[in-house]
Amino acid sequence: MKEFIDTLPTSEGPMDLHGFVPDHAPATRLPAVIILQEAFGVNPHVKRVCRRVASDGYAVFAPELFHRTGRNLEFGYDEFPRIKPIMGALTNERILEDLRATYAHVSQSPDVDPARIAAWGFCMGGWASVLAACELPIAASLSFYGGGLVNPRPGIGFTPLIDRLGSVRCPLLLVYGGKDTGIPAEDIAAMDSRLTSLGKAHEVTVYPEAGHGFFCEDRSAYHPASAEAAWTRGTAWLAGTLR
């Protein structure tokens, strides 16, 4: 597997993009997945997810969404007070600029089939993957416990997307933990109802015994059974939409 970092220009400075491309025939163009970080940065967990997805035959890319604050930023899972001001400065427009820059670069990669690109986000990135589904010509989107999609959150700069779901362009998988205290059941139901009323191809999966962040093996919330089930469902979603 080839691992590298490309640096992309944005209107507010350079943004590093981590790449993970499996070995493949030179003339082959691979389906691609844009992995969108949790609030803790493109950290070891995110990189492990990238490698795991790439090992299934995808070209994988992870942008550093905190690039306006610094490069290579990683935070501990007990450091949310340090993270909140950074998230507070991120607006919908700023994140969308980063998504567009990432998509443009990925779609032009000689390793990538531009017709088969997906976004897969976690936590903050789960919100961003829904924005990508609304605004980018991607083939699929996966959102794992994306918060703030229905109601605004104090101190967080980016705002709900439920009123923008009419713009969703691709099949959307929404995954949640039933014990996630930050994303109540009524918010999950609201997303499902709105997407259904709009006739958007989507699926909502809730793992009853899991809390927020259950997919991350480095967090106290890690729930192995739910994480493995979610991985199976997520990779099946990718295979069904990108293969």
pLDDT digits over 211-237, tens only? 999 999 999 999 999 999 999 999 999
Q: What sections of the chain are H helices per DSSP? A: 44-54, 80-88, 92-107, 124-135, 185-197, 224-242
For residues 228 and 108, the answer to whether their CB atoms sit within 8 Å is no
Whether 243 shows a pLDDT value over 90: the answer reads no
Whether 27 shows a pLDDT value over 90: the answer reads no
pLDDT digits over 162-217, tens only? 999 999 999 999 999 999 999 999 999 999 999 999 999 999 999 999 999 999 99
pLDDT digits over 52-71, tens only? 999 999 999 999 999 999 99
pLDDT digits over 120-146, tens only? 999 999 999 999 999 999 999 999 999
48 residue type, one letter: R
Whether 103 shows a pLDDT value over 90: the answer reads yes
Both tokens of residue 76? 């501990």
Q: What's the confidence (pLDDT) of residue 76?
A: 96
CB neighbours (10 Å) of residue 57? Answer: 15
Whether 25 shows a pLDDT value over 90: the answer reads no
Both tokens of residue 104? 């443009």
CATH topology for 2-242?
A: Rossmann fold (3.40.50)
Q: What's the confidence (pLDDT) of residue 105?
A: 98
Strand order, beta sheet including 112-122: 2-8, 15-21, 59-63, 30-36, 112-122, 140-144, 172-177, 202-207
Closest Cα to residue 22, out of 76, 59, 77, 50?
59
Enter the pTM of the model: 0.98
